[in-house]
């Protein structure tokens, strides 16, 4: 039937055309449920496999006592310091870092070295050195391995903290060290949006999935991620796979490998433990929370967060970002409601202080919520359903890095109204801050081209431009 013929078609013919169009949209764009969209993208759902120990990404650098597993993170509150960490294996060697800017004078910083034992494993010599008093928005070169096999790297310091400073963050979680993990990191590295710092939402090496929590897999993970983490800061969040609590083999100190290997500037924000802390970077104020440390009333984390939120100056850092491992809003049948008790404790503060976005991991899939809250319930009133709330954050689960436990593919049905988009695929995300009022978020699945965005959203800042930025009708 021609297009003009539709004008005189029977009612049944029109209905058939309408059904065909609707089915076409569903098959091509995803499954539209009670909530937002559940992607219809078909991906491999087999269990991911860790790369073998002789993989090139795990290669030990040549030379006697050559530094390996080099990584950096922010070393202070404002971005003028960097913590440089690395491992040597033959002997302790020097903890000196030589550094300089283009046409600048070479300087040096001294650090400390430590080791640890875990069951039948003894670590290499782990070095941590903080470079201080750096200039903003400057490229620095640095050398580790002084007096033995020197290796040179570089990094860029962020722009000075301010309300209209553009900055681009990458987001990765639950990475592991599988072939899919390698695809995720490669995809991020080649993304034309060019993230400048990674916000990592927990679960690093997955060494605890091996017999006796094989800490060799901490070493391989450090060598695998060095290609990125030595050149741009990774902001660390502790996940459940960092706990490494194994009383059956005599290991009763939680987080032992993680805290020895990965340092954060927690003391700069008044935190008493490295699992919760905050930093300022460009136009953002980033708060890292600990899903697996006590957060009940009167606990150190509770007291710290209550004070910390009141310190945020949105005129200086408009973008208030929170990182945690266990999601509060999750419509998958994996780790369902594990974050509920923390949500009950803290969500009202997030609404009160107008947090822009919360990034979490743990669930091995991707999901983005609407701006919603569930803070009205008082046990007796029955108001226990999440509602749209323009003072609330968007909650994004990005636990899809590619680890050996595979994808979370079972979802609750029907899709909740608060869920804007969900998909069980591996990938990474970008949060691109434009100015004080606008930021652009995009999620990139591994199977697509480097520039393809499987999901995206324009964020309107909750302090400076608090209009409705929902992506659903």
Report whether 459 contacts 441 (CB < 8 A). yes
Sequential DSSP letters for 428-458: EEEEEE-SSSEEEEEEEETTS-TT--SEEEE
d(CA 205, CA 224): 10
| Element containing residue 367 per DSSP (H, E) | strand 366-373
Nearest to 108 by CA among 79, 147, 143, 151: 143
Q: Is 335 a catalytic residue?
A: yes
d(CA 418, CA 27): 22
Report whether 75 contacts 142 (CB < 8 A). no
Q: How many CB atoms lie within 10 A of CB 307?
A: 11
Nearest to 451 by CA among 247, 193, 203, 273: 193
Structure tokens at 180: 């899919």
Q: Which residues of 185-203 are buried (b: 16+ CB within 10 A; e: fewer)?
A: bebbeebebebbbbbbbbb
Give Cβ neighbours of residue 55 (< 8 Å, ≥ 6 apart). none
C-alpha triplet 99, 102, 108: angle, nearest 5° = 15
d(CA 272, CA 304): 9
Length of the chain: 473
| Element containing residue 301 per DSSP (H, E) | helix 300-311
Catalytic residue among 335, 362, 428, 444: 335
Structure tokens at 123: 């670590």
d(CA 398, CA 54): 29
| Element containing residue 397 per DSSP (H, E) | strand 394-398
Q: How many CB atoms lie within 10 A of CB 384?
A: 10
Nearest to 407 by CA among 57, 39, 58: 39
C-alpha triplet 80, 115, 65: angle, nearest 5° = 80
Q: Which residues of 59-97 are buried (b: 16+ CB within 10 A; e: fewer)?
A: eeeeeebbbbbbbbbbbbbebbbbbbbbbbbeeebbbbb
Give Cβ neighbours of residue 182 (< 8 Å, ≥ 6 apart). 51, 57, 224, 402
Residue corresponding to tokens 């741009």: 232
Residues annotated as catalytic (active site), given as ranges: 335
């Amino acid at each position: 039937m021609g297009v003009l013929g539709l004008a005189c078609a029977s009612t049944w013919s029109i209905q058939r055309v309408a059904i065909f169009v609707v089915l076409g949209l569903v098959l091509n764009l995803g499954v539209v449920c009670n909530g937002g969209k559940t992607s219809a993208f078909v991906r491999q759902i087999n269990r991911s496999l860790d790369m073998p120990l002789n993989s090139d990404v795990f290669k030990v650098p040549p030379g006697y006592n050559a530094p390996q597993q080099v990584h950096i993170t922010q070393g202070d509150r404002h971005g003028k310091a960097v913590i440089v960490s690395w491992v040597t294996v033959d002997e302790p060697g020097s903890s000196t870092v030589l550094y300089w800017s283009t046409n600048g004078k070479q300087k040096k910083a001294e650090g400390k070295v430590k080791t640890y034992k875990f069951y039948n494993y003894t670590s290499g010599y782990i070095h941590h050195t903080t470079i201080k008093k750096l200039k903003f928005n400057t490229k620095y070169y640095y050398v580790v391995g002084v007096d033995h096999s020197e290796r040179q790297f570089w990094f860029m310091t962020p722009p000075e903290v301010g309300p209209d400073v553009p900055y681009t963050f990458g987001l990765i979680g639950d990475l592991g060290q599988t072939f899919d993990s390698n695809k995720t990191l490669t995809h991020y590295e080649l993304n034309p949006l060019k993230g400048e710092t990674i916000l990592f939402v927990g679960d690093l090496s997955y060494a605890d999935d091996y017999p006796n929590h094989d800490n060799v897999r901490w070493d391989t993970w450090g060598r695998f991620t060095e290609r990125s983490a030595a050149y741009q800061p990774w902001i660390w969040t502790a996940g459940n796979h960092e706990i490494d609590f194994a009383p059956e083999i005599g290991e009763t100190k939680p987080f032992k490998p993680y805290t020895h290997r990965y340092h954060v500037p927690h003391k700069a924000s008044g935190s008493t433990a490295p699992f919760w802390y905050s930093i300022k970077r460009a136009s953002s104020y980033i708060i890292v929370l600990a899903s697996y440390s006590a957060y009940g009333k009167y606990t150190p984390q509770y007291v710290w967060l209550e004070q910390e939120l009141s310190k945020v100056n949105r005129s200086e850092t408009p973008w208030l970002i929170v990182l945690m491992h266990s999601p509060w809003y999750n419509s998958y049948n994996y780790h369902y409601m594990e974050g509920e008790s923390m949500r009950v404790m803290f969500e009202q503060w997030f609404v009160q202080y107008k947090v822009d976005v919360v990034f979490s991991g743990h669930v091995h899939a991707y999901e983005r919520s609407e701006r919603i809250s569930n803070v009205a319930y008082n046990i007796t009133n029955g108001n226990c359903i999440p509602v749209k709330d323009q003072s609330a954050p968007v909650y994004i689960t990005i636990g899809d890095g590619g680890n050996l436990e595979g994808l979370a593919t079972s979802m609750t049905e029907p899709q909740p109204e608060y869920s804007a988009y969900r998909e069980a695929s591996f990938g990474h995300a970008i949060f691109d801050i434009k100015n004080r009022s606008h930021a652009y978020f995009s999620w990139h699945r591994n199977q697509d081209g480097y520039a393809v965005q499987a999901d995206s959203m324009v964020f309107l800042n909750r302090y400076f431009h608090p209009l409705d930025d929902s992506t659903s009708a």
